[in-house]
């Protein structure tokens, strides 16, 4: 009876969003008389950072400080339509819509500023600190707040913009059925190292090493956070959680958090993450999306690592101690594979 | 059923309420006192997000009968910040990106405070032990552990 170490690898190409109906999302941006901007979305921030990232994208596009942008999300009564927070699409789809809307709003803002400064709008630039000035002549300047007030109360203009992102429809080749299901792909590779106890069938994570290529990381700390937590959700799918452990039989299903197995703080292991940035041509500032891809490679990598450790190939998730033990017994004992 | 008068200290302030027999501390705090920082997760002691301190000791408020805290001192996340300043643990959670969706955060912070109050320089294993009754569904345990170690002035290590 012994513990066996094994290593497994998996790579994924992950499409960002889907192609169904063009997978659109919309955004509206408008300024308030205070010179602050509101982004109206019906997209939902589940904690993954949609609000932070759309705020960054809007502020950067408008050329105003990030503090001057407020993002209002998650209400389909007050926000324009969004397909939803899924398919790793938030940053890419919603970000693109916000960028388009912010660009339009910026155009109006610059026109309004031009009227106040009595210059051509093409000669103006933003300083990113809440001012608009004539290129090369910073003293010929007006604050975005004063522009907003002038637009609202003097010029009768709304500093606002509309944005939508729609994936171009991909025709299906009638001969081959070939089409392009997505315009943007992220990539990942993960190596999982596990330890399998051949007496109990228990699998413990030893370490993970991973690399993710996900376009430009607009907020590196949020990306890292997503990758750290998401990998553990992947481990959880691989080893622990299921609502129906004996599917299709509904017996022994967990009824609450006590019975529904999930990794706890004591189950985690070192996880090294490398983020590679290859800006996406159609992403907002080159961003793709780290979303679901952070969990996906973990499952096959863990299954491969278990095979490498004890020679059993489990193709049914989650890989519970019972399944591992039955498989080890069926083949007459653990058969460690060549160390990789 | 008649109501039971109940007095205790809530974040350093005396409070007096009337509770029904069988009311748990979580309901008393949220619905009768209006302190929404302890969260309702599972209602049966499985997730830890309702954690509060009773006389400095970590308790699951959903499993604590309100009557049992009569005359005792309750601390919740609402009382953690010191005036306008964040508690070092709160600051460390923010600096270390230790919250994602944030639902487990109040319970994690209380569990961490209970630990640091009795052991100002815990090891990594002691931190893991201290938060082992708290579930983070975003599975961000690593940054949470690092944040607690950082608040303790401990070295952040893998």
The 8 Å CB, 24+ separation contacts for B55-61 are: B56/B114, B56/B117, B56/B118, B57/B114, B58/B110, B58/B111, B58/B114, B59/B25, B60/B133, B61/B24, B61/B25, B61/B26, B61/B29
Range 36-95 of B in CB contact (< 8 A) with A = 41-42, 44-47
Predicted confidence (pLDDT) at residue B158 exceeds the cutoff of 80: no
Tens of pLDDT, residues A147-194: 999 999 999 999 999 999 998 888 889 999 888 888 899 999 999 999
Tens of pLDDT, residues A289-304: 888 899 999 999 999 9
pLDDT (0 to 100) of residue B30 = 98
Range 250-289 of A in CB contact (< 8 A) with B = 256-258, 262-266, 268, 270-271
Q: B144 contacts in A (CB within 8 Å)?
A: 265
Q: Kindly provide the ipTM of the predicted complex, given to two decimals.
A: 0.84
**Tokens coding A314:** 């489990």
CB of B42 closer than 8 Å to CB of A256:
yes
Q: Do B139 and A48 touch (CB under 8 A)?
A: no
Nearest to A265 among B101, B102, B141 (CB): B141
At residue A310, the 3 state secondary structure works out as helix
pLDDT (0 to 100) of residue B1 = 65
Residues A124, B124: Cα–Cα separation, whole Å = 55
Residue of B132, B138, B149 to mutate when probing chain A, most A C-beta within 10 A: B138
Q: Do A229 and B100 touch (CB under 8 A)?
A: yes
Predicted confidence (pLDDT) at residue B23 exceeds the cutoff of 50: yes
Tens of pLDDT, residues B105-151: 999 999 999 999 999 999 999 999 999 999 998 888 999 999 999 99
Q: How far A261 CA lies from chain B's nearest CA (Å)?
A: 11
Enter the DSSP assignment of B32. I
CB of A39 closer than 8 Å to CB of A72:
yes
Q: Do A229 and B138 touch (CB under 8 A)?
A: yes
Average pLDDT over residues A225-231: 92
Q: A46 contacts in B (CB within 8 Å)?
A: 101
Predicted confidence (pLDDT) at residue B157 exceeds the cutoff of 60: no
H or E element in which residue B24 lies: none
Nearest to A265 among B132, B137, B158 (CB): B132
| Band of residue A233 on the pLDDT scale cut at 50, 70, 90 | very high
pLDDT (0 to 100) of residue B155 = 40
Query: Structure pTM?
Result: 0.89
| Most confident among A39-53, A65-79, A169-183, A321-335 (mean pLDDT) | A321-335
Tens of pLDDT, residues A235-289: 999 999 999 989 899 899 998 888 898 899 999 999 999 999 999 999 999 999 8
pLDDT (0 to 100) of residue A101 = 98
Q: A262 contacts in B (CB within 8 Å)?
A: 135, 137, 139
Q: B101 contacts in A (CB within 8 Å)?
A: 46-47
Judged by a CB distance cut-off of 8 A, whether residue B156 touches chain A is no
């Amino acid at each position: 009876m012994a513990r066996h170490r094994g290593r497994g690898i998996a790579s994924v190409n992950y499409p960002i969003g889907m192609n169904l109906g063009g997978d659109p999302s919309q955004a509206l941006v408008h300024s308030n008389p205070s010179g602050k901007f509101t982004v109206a979305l019906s997209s939902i921030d589940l904690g993954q950072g949609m609000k932070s990232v759309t705020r960054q994208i809007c502020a950067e596009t408008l050329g105003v400080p990030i503090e001057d942008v407020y993002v209002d999300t998650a209400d389909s009564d007050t926000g324009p339509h969004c397909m939803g927070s899924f398919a790793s699409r938030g940053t890419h789809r919603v970000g693109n819509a916000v960028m388009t809307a912010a660009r339009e709003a910026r155009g109006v803002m610059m026109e309004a500023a031009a009227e106040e400064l009595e210059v051509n709008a093409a000669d103006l630039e933003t300083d990113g600190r809440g001012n608009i000035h004539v290129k090369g002549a910073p003293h010929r300047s007006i604050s975005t707040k004063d522009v907003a007030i002038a637009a609202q109360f003097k010029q009768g203009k709304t500093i606002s913009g509309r944005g939508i992102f729609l994936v171009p429809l991909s025709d299906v080749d009638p001969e081959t059925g070939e089409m392009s299901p997505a315009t943007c792909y992220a990539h990942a590779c993960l190596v999982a190292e596990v330890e399998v106890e051949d007496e109990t069938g228990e699998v413990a994570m030893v370490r993970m090493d991973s690399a993710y290529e996900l376009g430009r990381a607009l907020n590196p700390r949020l990306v890292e956070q997503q990758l750290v937590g998401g990998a553990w959700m992947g481990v959880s799918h691989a080893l622990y959680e299921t609502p129906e452990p004996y599917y299709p039989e509904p017996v022994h299903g967990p009824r609450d958090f006590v019975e529904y197995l999930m990794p706890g703080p004591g189950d985690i292991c070192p996880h090294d993450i490398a983020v590679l940035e290859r800006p996406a041509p159609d992403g907002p500032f080159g961003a793709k999306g780290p979303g679901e891809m952070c969990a996906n490679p973990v499952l096959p990598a863990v299954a491969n690592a278990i095979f490498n450790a004890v020679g059993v190939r489990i193709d049914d998730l989650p890989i519970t101690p019972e399944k591992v033990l039955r498989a080890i017994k069926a083949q007459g004992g653990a058969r460690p594979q060549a160390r990789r | 059923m008649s109501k039971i008068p109940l007095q205790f200290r809530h974040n350093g302030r005396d409070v007096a309420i009337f509770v029904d027999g069988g009311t748990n501390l979580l309901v008393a705090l949220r619905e009768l006192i209006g302190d929404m920082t302890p969260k309702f997760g599972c209602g049966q002691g499985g997730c830890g997000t309702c954690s509060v301190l009773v006389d400095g000791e970590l308790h699951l408020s959903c499993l604590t009968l309100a009557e049992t805290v009569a005359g005792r001192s309750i601390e919740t996340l609402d009382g953690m910040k010191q005036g306008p300043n964040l508690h070092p643990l709160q600051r460390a959670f923010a600096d270390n990106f230790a919250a994602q969706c944030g639902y487990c955060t109040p319970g994690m912070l209380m569990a961490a405070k209970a630990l640091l109050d009795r052991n100002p320089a815990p090891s990594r294993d002691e931190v893991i032990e201290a938060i082992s009754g708290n579930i983070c569904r975003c599975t961000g345990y690593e940054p949470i552990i690092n944040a607690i170690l950082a608040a303790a002035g401990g070295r952040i290590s893998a």
